[in-house]
Chain A
Amino acid sequence: DTGVSQNPRHKITKRGQNVTFRCDPISEHNRLYWYRQTLGQGPEFLTYFQNEAQLEKSRLLSDRFSAERPKGSFSTLEIQRTEQGDSAMYLCASRAGAGELFFGEGSRLTVL
């Protein structure tokens, strides 16, 4: 257990539904990241927060995706109108300053 907590661990939803994932980073880690990982592939960067500010977003983050970190602590990743291609593991990671990046165990999304 790295200390980065993600919920829910598994989510099965029907196409067109909205889903939200939550990430609780390690306490006092000011930097928080979301990555997406599909089967057999390495993680792909989605977005990055420093405190509450979203400073970097990937082109992978379409307008159906939104991430927030309102108080600079936990973060949420919402996917609206899910599509089957959204099925993946959504990984959250955090670090303090330039330190080591710690990943959570991920939230697996299955869109039927």
Chain B
Amino acid sequence: GESVGLHLPTLSVQEGDNSIINCAYSNSASDYFIWYKQESGKGPQFIIDIRSNMDKRQGQRVTVLLNKTVKHLSLQIAATQPGDSAVYFCAENSGRAFGNEKLTFGTGTRLTIIP
């Protein structure tokens, strides 16, 4: 069935170091992927997205890598800061071009930045 999962539920990183959060998906028809950050008591916040015709996309301090061969997605955060502490979700959508509006989210990884 369709599922999006994460390899690790928790990750602790020293402030200033880089972090990598991984995500596996099972739907080979997925063509759009998004990373969200969710702080305690708040709704998910968009970080970066990538379409299936790309394998890498960079933002400010963040990079998303997509490996369609193994159905794997990763989020790299450079020079982590205390404000990066949050739960990170990957989400996928299949067939957005055909009107499919549903996002399927993974379970989430809790990232803790150690001062």
Chain A residues with CB under 8 Å of chain B are 2, 4, 31, 33, 35, 40-45, 48, 55-56, 58, 91, 93, 98, 100-106
Closest CB-CB distance, A69 to chain B, in whole Å?
14
Q: Roughly how many angstroms separate A102 CA and B36 CA in the complex, as a whole number?
A: 10
Among A31, A91, A101, A106, max chain B CB count under 10 A is at A101
Note all chain A residues with C-beta closer than 8 A to B106. Answer: 42
Of B39-47, B63-71, B77-85, the stretch lying at the interface with chain A is B39-47
Q: Roughly how many angstroms separate A18 CA and B7 CA in the complex, as a whole number?
A: 39
Number of B interface residues at 8 Å Cβ cutoff, please give it: 22
Q: Which of A2, A33, A42 contacts B89 (CB 8 A)?
A: A42
Question: By the criterion CB–CB under 8 Å, are B89 and A105 in contact?
Answer: no
Closest CB-CB distance, B35 to chain A, in whole Å?
12
Q: B91 at interface (Cβ–Cβ under 8 A)?
A: yes
Closest CB-CB distance, A87 to chain B, in whole Å?
16
Q: B105 at interface (Cβ–Cβ under 8 A)?
A: yes
Note all chain A residues with C-beta closer than 8 A to B41. Answer: 105
Q: Roughly how many angstroms separate A2 CA and B36 CA in the complex, as a whole number?
A: 14
Question: By the criterion CB–CB under 8 Å, are B102 and A42 in contact?
Answer: no
Question: By the criterion CB–CB under 8 Å, are B107 and A45 in contact?
Answer: no
Note all chain A residues with C-beta closer than 8 A to B89. Answer: 42-43
Question: By the criterion CB–CB under 8 Å, are A48 and B46 in contact?
Answer: no
Note all chain A residues with C-beta closer than 8 A to B91. Answer: 42
